[in-house]
Structure 1
Amino acid sequence: MIIKDLVKLHDPQNQFDVLVKTYEQIEFAWNNKFDVSSAGNKKYNNMVIAGLGGSAISADLIANFLHDELTIPLTVVRGYHLPSFADENTLLICSTYSGNTEETNSVLEEGYKKACTIICITTGGKAGKYAAEKQIPVVAVKAGYQPRYALGVSFFSVLKVIQQIGLIKDQFSYVDKILKLWKENGVHYSAENNAAYKYAEQLVGFVPLIYSAADLTSAVGYRFKCQLNENSKVHAFSGVLPELNHNEIIGWETFNPSQLNIK
């Protein structure tokens, strides 16, 4: 079956096209105009990025991407509350695509009460309204995507905010390379019998187990697992090296799939 027919059968909303054109999200985010100057020229002790789903994955990817460059600790919050260390010396980035993620909005309000320096990344919603009321800088992002497919907007908006504040060097050369690579791969993965299509065929009937490397690709492995869960509607699991060398790997010594019972 050709790819166009597969898309019609399994992807009636054609999110495949959204993925192929993620470079448009990247271009928007990197060319987006916003003012976060009020958060610059400050000495921060730590940074917190709050978000759920795709917004949290973006934060995980940021942590991997900037692991060798960030000089302050970065914590990702996927819940209702800030860590106890958060205070006036904390940079808090609240990322909620819809603006209505209750956990992130709770952190947003808590951060304001704790006098954190806050940047809000959103399309609007309750978060946008609250930020406007409290005069919190807002990075308005492009609407119209399903949140789990808005990774390009989310990741590169956060990256640009951190750059604008002055915590990292200019990322233009990296972004330019990523854009070129995405466009090239978009053409490649739209062709018949491409590598991704072949791998997908090989995964049919199996439960994927994805291993990645801590601080380098751990967020990529987890993102892959979540995409299989959300989009392919299948179970998938992920583990991170070297931690799994101390526990999970031992289970393979006695693993016998013929004895596996699922109830």
Structure 2
Amino acid sequence: MVEKLDQIEELKKLDPKDMYSAVYNLPEQIERAAEVAYNAEIKNISDKIDKVLVLGMGGSAIGGDVLQSVLFKEAKFPVFVNRDYDLPNWVDESTLVFAVSYSGHTVETINSAKLSYSRGASVVAVTSGGVLKEFAQENNLTLVEIPSGMAPRAAIGYVTIPSFVILERLGLISSKKKDIEETVAYLRNKREEFKIEVPTEQNVAKKVAKMMFKHIPVIYAVEEKWKVAAYRWKCQINENSKYPAFYHFFPELNHNEIMAWEAIDNVIKPLTLIFLYTSLEGEMKIRVEFMQEKISARGVPVFLWQAEGNNPLTQFFSLTYLGDFATVYLAYLADKDPFSIGYINELKLRIGQALS
């Protein structure tokens, strides 16, 4: 019997807007994002920046989380992410604010961008158009205009890379050109292993999708700085696959969530666990092996995925690219369109917001 995930023509019928290709073409998207950001005209940015704030919601906000994680060991300034209509009180003329809205119509981001500007902050708009683009143009702000027409979550390259490039161009971080090149090369190589033409038996992305099918995935990041990778998996499972999913990170989860795994079988059996890690050494190795041992003994499927790459940017995308493919495949197994976001759009209409 032919595996469902190997029936390519049938799967295409489940994906009329071709989310699969958006995932497959991520390397080219990252290249284009860098090109656009390097060519953007920098306007009205203070030379006294001492903190960075990224504004965004949903798929547009995760670029801020990635910025924060990738610069964990490098930045000499704090990086914060704000998912709200309002702003922290400390935003001032020494704050560099990235207002990121793929559609340009995200109400929360537009509102907080205008507040940032009113407080004298240096605002950079990253968007494909809409109200945010108009706001940037009207106020002579730095605008990184990215291509439109994608689901925001599929535009992770477009909403992530420009912030790194602008910070580099301002002299606030080291050059990221080689890191971007390495990331693109890694993704191009890896997608040949994950692509739909590779049979399930040899395709780890399809195997992970099958492991998650009819289970509730729990994603653990083995380092706190990579909780953004676990969060990306969770959100992709939610939006692409229409599945519930949960995430946490080490070592914090060993002080609370570890006890949840002592629950009765009826609670534990529907779960499946995925560990994301860069390396397992010392105490962290003991923590992970202990949990793997205890949870596997309960009959819960466990999968470990290790980051690759010589820099944090590549490591992030190496942790998440598998999840991007696997969640599209999980949608196919569940007979779901990986592009559609019915409840999100229904809620936006009820609130009176523009659809993405």
1:26-66: per-residue Cα shift (whole Å, max 9, x none)?
A: 111111110125426x1222110000011211111111111
Contact between 2:69 and 2:226, CA under 8 Å: does it hold in 1?
yes
**What stretches of structure 2 of length at least 5 have no aligned partner?**
271-356
Distance 1:98 1:13, change over 3 A: same
Shift of 1:161: 1.4
2:26 is equivalent to residue 8 of structure 1: no
| 2:106 corresponding residue in structure 1 | 101
| 1:30 corresponding residue in structure 2 | 34
Distance 1:39 1:6 in 2: 51
The one of 178, 196, 205 aligned to 1:196:
205
TM-score (norm 1): 0.94
Contact between 2:224 and 2:250, CA under 8 Å: does it hold in 1?
no
Shift of 1:175: 0.6
Distance 1:6 1:207 in 2: 25
| 2:265 corresponding residue in structure 1 | 257
Shift of 1:240: 1.4
Q: Which amino acid aligns with 1:238?
A: Y
2:253 is equivalent to residue 248 of structure 1: no
Q: Which amino acid aligns with 2:205?
A: A
1:200-248: per-residue Cα shift (whole Å, max 9, x none)?
A: 1111111000011344311010000000000100111001111111111
Q: Which amino acid aligns with 2:54?
A: I
Distance 2:170 2:67 in 1: 15
| 2:137 corresponding residue in structure 1 | 132
SS at match of 1:208: strand
| 2:116 corresponding residue in structure 1 | 111
**Identity of aligned pairs, percent?**
30
Distance 2:167 2:224 in 1: 19
Q: Which amino acid aligns with 1:127?
A: L
Contact between 1:49 and 1:76, CA under 8 Å: does it hold in 2?
yes
The one of 213, 220, 227 aligned to 1:211:
220
The alignment covers a number of residue pairs equal to 259
SS at match of 2:157: helix
Distance 1:3 1:72, change over 3 A: farther
The one of 223, 245, 261 aligned to 1:236:
245
2:60 is equivalent to residue 52 of structure 1: no
Distance 1:6 1:238 in 2: 32
Contact between 2:234 and 2:247, CA under 8 Å: does it hold in 1?
yes
Distance 1:3 1:238, change over 3 A: farther
* CA root-mean-square deviation: 1.7
Shift of 1:126: 0.5
Q: Which moved more, 1:185-194 or 1:222-231?
A: 185-194
Contact between 1:7 and 1:14, CA under 8 Å: does it hold in 2?
no
SS at match of 1:109: helix
Distance 1:4 1:187 in 2: 16
TM-score (norm 2): 0.70
2:183 is equivalent to residue 183 of structure 1: no
2:78 is equivalent to residue 69 of structure 1: no
Distance 1:214 1:81, change over 3 A: farther
